[in-house]
Chain A
Amino acid sequence: MTETPPTAEHHQPGRPNAAGFWAEAWARYQRMPLACAALVMVGLLAMVALLAPAIAGTKPVVCRYKGQIYFPCLAYYARSLEPVIFSKDKFRGEYPANLQAKDPESWAIWPLVFQDPYRAVRTNEWPGRPGNPTRDQGRPSRMNLMGTNQNGVDVFAKMVHGTLVALLVGFVSMGIAATIGITVGSLAGYFGGWVDVVVSRITEVVMCIPTLVLILALLAIVEKPTIWKMMAVLGLTGWPGISRLMRGEFLRLKSSEFVTAARAIGARPGRIILRHVLPNALAPVVVPITFGIAAAILTESGLSFLGFGQPPPSASWGSLLNDARSNLRMWWLVFFPGTAIFLTVLAFNLVGEGLQKATDPRLREAKK
């Protein structure tokens, strides 16, 4: 935010209002082809993540069974969404044969690729198709586009479902971190005094504790680390950087004229913080939040790689890399998840870089 003095030009009557800060930033962002490509990539990843059960799975997307329409694929989002009737009729997760046998009238629309991210597909589970190869025999083939791991689980299915895990980890944990960081940082910056002393000390302590100790200790304390607990832990450890930046912005802005003016007309601190200062202080933290999403995805896959992630069966990209460690001959277990993590991190980094260029007031000055 530049504090350019209002010139006569800005207030000419009859001239439409100048575009807002974010509209201007967006216009500048669109002029960067690489950043735009990265944004498209993020969009594609989000689509793959949301449509994962329709791309790869062993449960029908839609099926008609005993006169009713069901969506068994929803079970991939949450176990509880699997229609009860299928467990009552003892399907045991095997739909193709059971649907035919128990209701010849039934029909189903299947996912694009009949493979499961959590288990190996057995012989003739899909009529006439061989089961997945196990051990180190699972090279990429027509049946298993990206090969299989030691247990015969299809890598492509894991990759597709892992996209949801990666993006969820990135967005949810950074959402938690951003909420804590922005709240804590703005309170410290606005009120100063002892609030600031306490907050700054806590920030410093969290920053100084080796991240791995903090994350591993918290993960061990919650026991059985599910993906949601992992997000909470990453969020609880990722806020200090944002809090620092926010504090700095608030310190800078709270002595500016518009805050004094707001105070003079009797606005309460809550209103000043939320309505006056926060919108002006948000731009610089958007960039570290974007980079933080990339970092969270990296950390989660790194932890899964080291064996500290969600216990198997898990669809995390990092767990595939962990499988690769015990058999390096299975290069496909390194290449596909490695490339996916790389491209995702790169996309978020490029978006962050683009945002930085688009919102940096110094660069805007240089253009004029």
Chain B
Amino acid sequence: MIHHLTRRLALGLVTLLLISFLVYGLIRSIPGTPLTVAVAEADPSRRLNPADLDRMKAAYGLDKPWYQAYFVWLGNVVRGDLGRSISRKAPVTQLIGERIGPTLALSAGSMLLTWVLSIPLGLYSAARSGRPDERGVSLALYMLYSVPTFVAALALQVVFSVWAEGTAWELPLFGMTSGLPHATTAAWLLDVARHAILPLVCQTYVSLAWYTRFINTNLQEVLRQDFIRTARAKGAGPLRVLVHHAFRNTLIPLVTLLGLSLPALLGGSVIIEQIFTWPGMGRLFFESLRERDYPTIMGLTLLFSVLTLAGQLLADLLYAWVDPRVSME
């Protein structure tokens, strides 16, 4: 067990090094630097003169070739320093700290909704398998699964922000708050909640459809097994068979899913946060890519990669933990 874990961790470290090296090389070869992109966008006539540009390049360590700069960055990371954002003039850790709350609010809310809704829906679909109503629900979920998030987001914006303008159904188009001062914390929370409805719906519907199908398929598989027939034969009611005997056995794949959803929990969705201008991690990532803000991109990439790898490891560990037949050796 310990041996397996150390092996996994060592391999993960190698992967992380490779990823960061590659990404560093990639982003440094995108045309434009954080110094030129920001200034050129603000005002083309106010470009920096070459001498100033060179001085600033040296200050940010951009005068070195990328493979040398990478090792400087790596050295700082090992010492626990993710560097300072060039375009935002703040430490990267502080930027991430500011953005992680909004993303977590959205993704945790969405995950909670997904689980609360998909488990009963999955049980229902398995119980009424093959009947017309179940087929209808499954088809609807399947279609929902094929709706691209950005299309759904735009459609919701058209309906709830443009068509419903002036009615009680109107919802804010973007942002996390309306920007006005709030009298109480409760009023602030209400404002945030109103802003969060549309992004939350967009982030939830796909995973809801997917999880429901996943639970349903797993239940169908378990329901075909012998011990279910035994349970039925001894006289257990349909509900008890479904929940107590069958569903408990589908928890194993569900638990692994929990591990694999770790990166999504903190990574945020670029498209949703971009459409609704939600000040989260995905948007920070998108903006820093556009601004060529190397330290922020690298910090976020590192975070996402660590989360992905940790999620896979967590899934395997959880799997071994809940299923005694699986051994980590």
Contacts and interface: CB of A to CB of B under 8 A. Distances in A.
Given A209-B23, A217-B27, A328-B173, 17 more contacts: A201-B18, A205-B19, A213-B297, A213-B301, A216-B289, A217-B26, A298-B148, A302-B271, A305-B150, A321-B154, A328-B157, A334-B158, A345-B146, A345-B148, A346-B146, A349-B142, A366-B224
A210 B31 contact: no
Interface of A: 34, 201, 204-205, 207-210, 212-214, 216-218, 220-221, 223, 294, 298, 301-302, 305-306, 321, 324-325, 328-329, 331, 334-335, 337-338, 341-342, 345-346, 349-350, 353, 366
A319 to B, nearest CB: 12
18 contacts: A205-B15, A208-B308, A209-B22, A210-B301, A212-B286, A213-B26, A216-B30, A217-B23, A217-B26, A220-B30, A221-B29, A221-B31, A302-B271, A329-B162, A331-B162, A341-B151, A345-B146, A346-B146
B304 interface: yes
Of all A-B residue pairs in the complex, the 9 with the closest CB atoms, nearest first, are A338-B151, A346-B146, A217-B26, A220-B30, A345-B146, A334-B154, A208-B305, A328-B162, A205-B18
B87 interface: no
A154 B27 CA distance: 38
B154 A328 contact: yes
Nearest to B152: A338
A204 B301 contact: no
Given A209-B23, A213-B26, A221-B30, A321 B15 contact: no
B205 to A, nearest CB: 13
B288 to A, nearest CB: 10
B137 interface: no
Contacts, number: 109
Contacts of A325: 154, 275
A113 to B, nearest CB: 24
DSSP class of A's interface residues: helix, strand, loop or mixed? helix
Given A204-B15, A334-B154, A213 B289 contact: yes
Contact of B147 (A208, A210, A220, A342): A342
B23 A213 contact: yes
A87 B304 CA distance: 53
B155 interface: yes
Contact of A212 (B22, B30, B270, B308): B270
Given A209-B19, A334-B154, A341 B148 contact: yes
Interface string B140-176: 0011011110110011011001110000000001000
Given A209-B301, A212-B270, A338-B155, A346 B143 contact: yes
A325 B153 CA distance: 10
Contacts of B155: 334-335, 338
A224 to B, nearest CB: 11
Contacts of A338: 148, 151, 154-155
B146 A213 contact: no
B278 interface: no
A284 B275 CA distance: 36
Contacts of A335: 155
A243 to B, nearest CB: 16
A216 B297 CA distance: 12
A342 B275 CA distance: 18
Contact of B27 (A201, A213, A328): A213
A208 B15 contact: yes
B285 interface: yes
Contacts of B224: 366
A116 B89 CA distance: 47
Contact of B26 (A214, A298, A342): A214
Nearest to B14: A201
Contact of B30 (A217, A301, A302, A341): A217
| Most chain A C-beta atoms within 10 Å of own C-beta, residue among B18, B31, B274 | B18
Interface string B36-57: 0000000000000000000000
Nearest to A207: B308
Contacts of B27: 213, 217
Given A208-B309, A221-B29, A328-B157, A302 B15 contact: no
Contacts of B154: 321, 324-325, 328, 334, 338
